[in-house]
Amino acid sequence: MSAEATNPAPSRRRGRPRIDLRRLGRAALLGPGTRDRLPDAISHVAEAHRAHHPDADLAVLHRAYVLAEFSHRGQFRKSGEPYITHPLAVTLILAELGAETTTLTASLLHDTVEDTDVTLDQVREEFGEEVCYLVDGVTKLEKVDYGAAAEPETFRKMLVATGNDVRVMSIKLADRLHNMRTLGVMRPEKQVRIAKVTRDVLIPLAERLGVQALKTELEDLVFAILHPAEYENTRALIAGNATAGDALAAIADDVRAVLREARIPAEVLVRPRHFVSVHRVRLKRGELRGTDFGRLLVLVTDDADCYGVLGELHTCFTPVISEFKDFIAAPKFNLYQSLHTAVAAPDGAVAEILIRTHQMHKVAEAGVVALGNPYAAPAEGTDPVGEDGERSDPTRPGWLSRLLAWQRSTPDPDTFWTSLRADLAQDGEITVFRPDGGTLALPAGATCVDAAYAQYGEAAHTCVGARVNGRLATLGTVLNDGDTVQPLLAGGDAATEEPGTAAEPDACEGGPAHHDPASGPSPDWLEHARTPAARIAITGWLAAHPEGVKVPAAAPRPPAAAVCADPPALRDAAANAVVADLPGAQVRLARCCTPVPPDAVTGFPVRGGNVTVHRVACPAVRRMEAAGRVPVGVCWGEAAECRVTLVAESFGRPRLLADLTEAIATAGAAIVSATVEPPSEQRVRHTYTLQLADAAELPALMRAMRDVPGVYDVSRAQHPAAAIG
């Protein structure tokens, strides 16, 4: 288990010593000093299982163990251990999390079909259809049959199986955790490859399924392999602050006293942060204090007590209001529920506090694993279907339904693998409302383009714009949680608008104002699409309708080789790029990366013979090249004036905005627009669009902004600003 999951779960029998999973996973299952004897191996699993399920029938586990041990007999891991230690360790991990008997049975057998002579038919005959389905779901596809596509196609198979039974992914996550614990015997290059797949695919899946206990330890193991220097620094930092927990322990004693006086039964625990968490906190806060190495966890009986504890803490201590979050009233998309707050000690140290019920804690640690068998018949008198049908099965949330939908449209394994990593890289989930009162679940950062394809599918090809919260918006507008969005379709929803609204010049970014129903999306839409479903649909239409993209024919030429003629007249002083291969074309600087001289740039033709110019390093360039878009060479003209968007990250303090604007003015830049986001966790993000008389002044301007006290980072914007003011 991870460092953040070291406190006993409420459902464990009091007084039972906690099993050291890492030790058992490596050696303890071998028995005392011998490799050919496993005296009490299955008893560890049985004990952990009975702690969560006292009435469980252990006979099926013993039968599964006998078959697995016999089938794997004579096989050894690269570490030299008998192979049976691996399925035992995986099963023990799941048993500690509270998995039910069917999952543990399949976990014991999860490698038998892949690595032994046992067949799926034999598993089905002996253990039933459910166990057979789970074993088949985690069985890898043969490289002999699939070649280089074996890994992505195996993950596709697992995800499809997970859509029908989420326990498939629970077993896979526990399997990867034990493999990561014992990865040291592999070659360094193989360690790095496996760690990257774990980082890009399995850790996001663990987060989305709410299995924090597995996610945090996987993060630490990946951190040690991919960032060894930072890992060692963090390990030394934690070791050098061995007494850091004393500060939190003292605050915990004060919290216990307050709750006793208020007569609120509660358990107050100190939870050390795991390595990656400490590393992130250090990057954000610089020098760490004792209270930064952990958090307090308050466990109570019911929801009402959670809010009672919160009231007592905010009454008796000084609360840090910006740290308060209510994930009980508004649970996270991965089932997580807790109240988050922070209080200041008399010496100024800030202690973060999590408040939750025992059941919330179980779900917070084990996620979907803690739900038991979600496919059992519902209890009498309960309705298995939710009001909107979206979460009638809590293990089939919106993100999984979306993933299963778009993967069917990507037969190519490379496209699927790339899209899967991009989809899982999206942090969080938002819910937006349709005008009819329905909802759409989208990844954080989704735009009106994504909403259109999520609501209308391929009919969204005829989209001419959108309304967000009743106001016309470009298709590139980023949506926020709770927004109401209405995509406008040519000949459809757009027809219900007032005359002329669909003809607003900005109604459809990159597309014509009056959209013919037979026409399709603009290539520029790919710059705004964040969901694979939207990107796959747009790319498919563009590939099927090359005549729909009206750009002059031109042979591609890299920017470095472009020879500039005299610069033509441009639309504004900021767009001082010259398209070498398409003389006379109108130029637009991409808002997603705001290129300025002397950035290395490239261009892509769009409708009407225009060209959008991006920085070479812009993520949109890679997406468009992957979609088959052909770049054209561009280079900078003689004009030195430029416009750029900068993002300043800072800690909140009085007069910060005044000091930043003064630094910008002193550097000779003019502020075109500015956005200041509401403080989050005592940090503030400022976004400035600035006009510079000379692009060469940009490095000095960024240094001047970084020198403002409280500002810890200034960077070029990679996405359009959240607001234009």
Residue 38 has pLDDT above 50, yes or no: no
- Tens digits of residue pLDDT in 411-440: 777 777 777 777 777 667 787 888 887 778
Q: Tokens in use for 243?
A: 């007494």
- Rounded to an integer, what distance in angstroms lies between the CA atom of residue 285 and that of residue 287? 6
Number of Cβ within 10 Å of residue 274's Cβ equals 22
> What pTM was computed for the model?
0.62
Please state, in angstroms and as integers, the Cα–Cα distance from residue 540 to each residue in 158, 250, 448, 474, 532, following that order.
25, 61, 19, 22, 12
* Cα-Cα end-to-end distance for the chain: 48
For residue 518, pLDDT beyond 50: no
Take residue 71 and report the two structure tokens written for it: 């089938």
Helices (H), 73-166: 85-97, 101-108, 112-115, 120-127, 129-138, 143-146, 150-164
- Mean pLDDT for 133-152 is 80
Mean predicted confidence (pLDDT) in 661-667: 86
CA-based nearest residue to 301, from 225, 245, 359: 359
Q: Quick one: 243 exposed, middle or buried, by C-beta within 10 A (0-12, 13-18, 19+)? A: exposed
44 and 31 Cβ atoms separated by less than 8 Å: no
Tens-place pLDDT, residues 497-513: 333 333 333 333 333 33
Q: How confident is the model at residue 568, as a pLDDT?
A: 35
Residue 34: band (very low, low, confident or very high) from pLDDT cuts 50, 70, 90: very low
- Is the pLDDT score of 47 beyond 80? yes
The answer to whether the CB of 509 falls within 8 A of the CB of 515 is no
**Between vectors from CA 627 to CA 487 and to CA 526, what angle results, nearest 5°?**
25
Most confident stretch, 16-30, 275-289, 536-550: 275-289
Distance of CA 63 to the CA centre of its chain: 39
Would you place residue 393 in the very low, low, confident or very high pLDDT band (cuts 50, 70, 90)? very low
Tell me: pLDDT of 399 over 80.
no
Does the structure show a pLDDT above 80 at 367? yes
User: Which of residues 624 and 497 earns the better pLDDT score?
Assistant: 624
Pairing of strands 587-589, 611-615: parallel
Task: State how far the Cα of 49 lies from the Cα of 56, in Å rounded to an integer.
Answer: 8
Angle at the Cα of 626 from the Cα atoms of 579 and 141, rounded to 5 degrees: 170
What mean pLDDT comes out for the span 113-124?
A: 91
- Dig out the tokens for 633 from the structure: 């060479």
96 is catalytic: no
Would the pLDDT of 387 be above 70?
A: no
Where residue 80 falls among pLDDT bands split at 50, 70, 90?
Answer: confident
pLDDT score of 579: 54
Tabulate helix, strand, coil % of the chain (nearest 5).
45, 15, 40
Q: pLDDT-derived band of residue 170, with 50, 70 and 90 as boundaries?
A: very high
pLDDT at 347 over 50: yes
Please compute the mean of the pLDDT values over residues 95-116 and round it to a whole number: 92
CA torsion through residues 444, 449, 450, 456, sign: positive
- Say yes or no to pLDDT of 515 above 50: no
On average, the pLDDT of the chain sits at 77
Region for residue 263 given its phi and psi (left: phi exceeds 0; alpha: psi -120 to 50; beta: otherwise): left
* Averaged pLDDT for residues 634-659: 77
Using CA atoms, how far residue 594 sits from 445, 572, 610, 626, in Å, is 19, 14, 17, 21
Complete DSSP assignment for 399-454: HHHHHHHHHTT--SHHHHHHHHHHHHTS-SEEEEE-TTS-EEEEETT-BHHHHHHH
> Helix, strand or coil for residue 557?
coil
Of 47, 114, 200, 267, catalytic: 114
* Residue whose C-alpha is closest to residue 474's, from 421, 521, 429, 528: 528
Residues in the chain: 725
pLDDT at 710 over 70: yes
Q: How do residues 601-621 score in pLDDT, each as one tens digit?
A: 888 887 666 788 888 888 888
- pLDDT value at 57 more than 60: yes
Separation of alpha carbons 607 and 511, rounded Å: 7
Amino acid occupying residue 717: A
Rounded distance, CA 326 to CA 1, Å?
A: 26
b (16+ CB within 10 A) / e for 622-633: ebbeebebebbb
| Catalytic residue status for 114 | yes
DSSP β-ladder status, 471-473 and 463-468 = antiparallel
Mean pLDDT of 260-285: 90
Q: What is the pLDDT of residue 90?
A: 94
Q: How far is CA 612 from CA 142, 399, 592, in A?
A: 44, 32, 11
User: Does the pLDDT value for residue 584 go beyond 60?
Assistant: yes
Question: Which residue among 47, 115, 323, 326 is the active-site one?
Answer: 115
Q: What is the tens place of the pLDDT at every residue in 672-686?
A: 888 888 776 667 888
Secondary structure element (H or E) that encloses residue 705, with its range: helix 698-706
Q: 178 versus 639: which is more confidently predicted?
A: 178
Question: What is the 8-class DSSP label of residue 76?
Answer: B
C-alpha to C-alpha distances, 8 to 17, 19, 96, 267, 340, nearest whole angstrom: 9, 10, 10, 11, 20
pLDDT at 295: 92
Out of 304-313, 328-337, 630-639, give the one with best mean pLDDT.
304-313
Q: Are 93 and 104 in contact (CB under 8 A)?
A: no
Query: Average pLDDT of 298-318?
Result: 93
pLDDT value at position 509? 37
pLDDT single digits (tens) 176-216: 999 999 998 889 999 999 999 999 889 988 888 889 999 99
Instruction: Convert the pLDDT of each residue in 456-492 to its tens digit.
Output: 888 888 887 888 988 888 888 899 888 899 998 875 5
Per-residue tokens: 682:
């005592």
How far apart (Å, rounded) are the C-alpha atoms in residues 92 and 110? Answer: 13
